[in-house]
Amino acid sequence: QVQLVESGGGLVQAGGSLRLSCAASGRSFSVYAMAWFRQTPEKERVFVAALTWTAGITYYADSVKGRFSISRDDAKNTVYLQMNSLKVEDTAVYHCAADTRKSTYYGDAVFDSYGYDSWGQGTQVTVSL
């Protein structure tokens, strides 16, 4: 498994921007996809965005398309989530996730939490009016 540490959350006004970071570390690991999910007290973990490692394909939830962007820096073993035009409904704890077992290669697993075996503790994003 790989260890994931998120950062960059905080309080921002609606319409503002934040950039989340997810730093990966561990002994000799291979990553096949990384993703961001978000969770509120009322909902289970919900898919936000994903990036496949080999092909570099990106996926987004409909609710964030055109506003959020997932990217990576291989030299820093870090994945980013750039969030623009933030809305109050984006308020959640954002979790970074990694697939080190190729689980996301099958079906729609890239969009579901079961496709990922490593998780960060999360970073709080709060969007105010």
Question: pLDDT tens string for the chain (129 positions)?
Answer: 799 999 999 999 999 999 999 999 987 778 999 999 999 999 899 999 999 999 999 999 999 999 999 999 988 999 999 999 999 999 999 999 999 999 999 889 999 999 999 999 999 999 999
97: closest CA among 126, 123, 64? 123
Dihedral sign, CA of 66, 124, 35, 70? positive
State the DSSP string of 15-74. Answer: T--EEEEEEEE-SS---SEEEEEEE-TTS--EEEEEEETTT--EEE-TTTTTTEEEEEEG
Return left, alpha or beta for 127; rule: phi > 0 is left, psi -120 to 50 is alpha, else beta. beta
> Quick one: pLDDT at residue 52?
94
User: Measured between alpha carbons, how far is 57 from 75 in angstroms, rounded to an integer?
Assistant: 19
Other residues' Cβ atoms within 10 Å of the Cβ of residue 15: 11
> Quick one: pLDDT at residue 47?
98
> Quick one: pLDDT at residue 116?
97
- What tokens does 116 get? 């990922």
